[in-house]
Amino acid sequence: MMRYAEKPFLQYLDSFVLRAIGELTEQQEQAILLLSQTFSQADGTRAWFEVVAERMSFSEGYVSEIAFVWEASRQSASEQGLEISPFEFTRLFVDANFPS
């Protein structure tokens, strides 16, 4: 995907957000697990999303915060007669909060 060509860690951030909002598919999870070998501990005791959270210094409640923003965004869009896809939300959220 062109979005990740020059920024490989961006795929982890996108996947982290999708997981936080409950929209990471099994296929996406498997793909990120394969990629995660470069970011996981040598002993393999931590999951890829734990490594991302640590690397980004996310607070313990950050997943809940992302989920809250997702629900608020969905509600706002719905009130305007619109629908926001999980992937569009993720792209906008990551790009707004983690500019590169």
**pLDDT tens digits for range 38-77:** 655 555 677 889 989 999 999 999 999 999 999 999 999 9
Higher pLDDT pick, 1 / 10: 10
- Rounded to an integer, what distance in angstroms lies between the CA atom of residue 10 and that of residue 4? 6
Q: Residue 94 pLDDT more than 70?
A: yes
Domain assignment of residue 90, given as a range: 2-97
In this prediction, residue 36 has a pLDDT band, given cuts at 50, 70 and 90, of confident
Contact 13, 56 (CB under 8 A): yes
What's the pLDDT at 35?
81
Contact 40, 48 (CB under 8 A): yes
Indicate the number of domains in the chain.
Answer: 1
Q: What are phi and psi of 57, to 5 degrees?
A: 55, 40
